Homo-oligomer: A and B are copies of this chain.
């Protein structure tokens, strides 16, 4: 056995440190690339993503991006995950400051309107752009988009149930009301992108109708 091989501990630590640094750099690069992928996908759809395009946009080598993501599908999945994190940070987390129930639903709606009006993503709502695009393409990307959307519906329904349970609003079918709220938010996103800013007032009126106090 050589001397080097007899000191696995010291080398192991050094190797681990190098590996750690590489992992951190890799994770950071993955995050940067995934974020840009979200912007591209909010404009041109997840199908418009390609490793080559991202390399050109970000001034990176295509082989570097290929090493990090391997396939277009992995890149699409990373974009969906990144979009979900950014959406949570922009809409769900800040609404957590409001008390649960009707107040938090109003806060979620207002943060959502902000998200659609001053787009977090270059092309507006990431889910509106991609759910409609991927709904006819079964596979892991569609499943990931579907899960993200379902989680959002669950957040809305949970607050509606809380509001009804506390007697703040009339007894509602929470899933039906969540479906309605999500539907008008998606419609408002499209209307906003087409320059119809009256849609925001319509959304607020629908929400207030659903949050009317019990008689």
Residues in chain A within 8 A of chain B (CB atoms): 42-45, 47-48, 122-124, 128-129, 131-133, 135-136, 142, 146, 173, 175-176, 179-180, 182-184, 186-187, 190, 193-194, 199, 202, 205-206
Taking a contact as CB atoms under 8 Å apart, the answer to whether A44 and B47 are in contact is yes
For the complex, would chain A's binding face be called helix, strand, loop or mixed by DSSP majority? helix
Taking a contact as CB atoms under 8 Å apart, the answer to whether B132 and A133 are in contact is yes
> Would A133 and B129 be within 8 Å (CB), given that A45-B45, A180-B180, A199-B179 are in contact?
yes
Taking a contact as CB atoms under 8 Å apart, the answer to whether B133 and A133 are in contact is yes
Q: State in angstroms the CA–CA spacing of A142 and B190 once bound together.
A: 12
Q: State in angstroms the CA–CA spacing of A89 and B135 once bound together.
A: 25
Set B44, B131, B183, B205: member contacting A176, Cβ < 8 A: B205
Set of chain B residues within 8 Å of A142, measured between Cβ atoms? 194
Taking a contact as CB atoms under 8 Å apart, the answer to whether A202 and B179 are in contact is yes
Taking a contact as CB atoms under 8 Å apart, the answer to whether B129 and A132 are in contact is yes
Set B136, B175, B186, B206: member contacting A186, Cβ < 8 A: B186
Set of chain B residues within 8 Å of A135, measured between Cβ atoms? 123-124, 190, 193-194
Taking a contact as CB atoms under 8 Å apart, the answer to whether A136 and B47 are in contact is no
Q: State in angstroms the CA–CA spacing of A129 and B135 once bound together.
A: 9
Which chain B residue has the least Cβ–Cβ distance from A173? B205
Q: State in angstroms the CA–CA spacing of A133 and B46 once bound together.
A: 11
Q: State in angstroms the CA–CA spacing of A179 and B183 once bound together.
A: 10
Q: A25 to nearest B CB, angstroms?
A: 33
Q: A168 to nearest B CB, angstroms?
A: 20
Taking a contact as CB atoms under 8 Å apart, the answer to whether B186 and A187 are in contact is yes
Q: State in angstroms the CA–CA spacing of A202 and B173 once bound together.
A: 10
Taking a contact as CB atoms under 8 Å apart, the answer to whether B129 and A194 are in contact is no
Which chain B residue has the least Cβ–Cβ distance from A137? B43
Central interface residue in A175, A182, A202, A206, by most chain B CB within 10 Å: A202
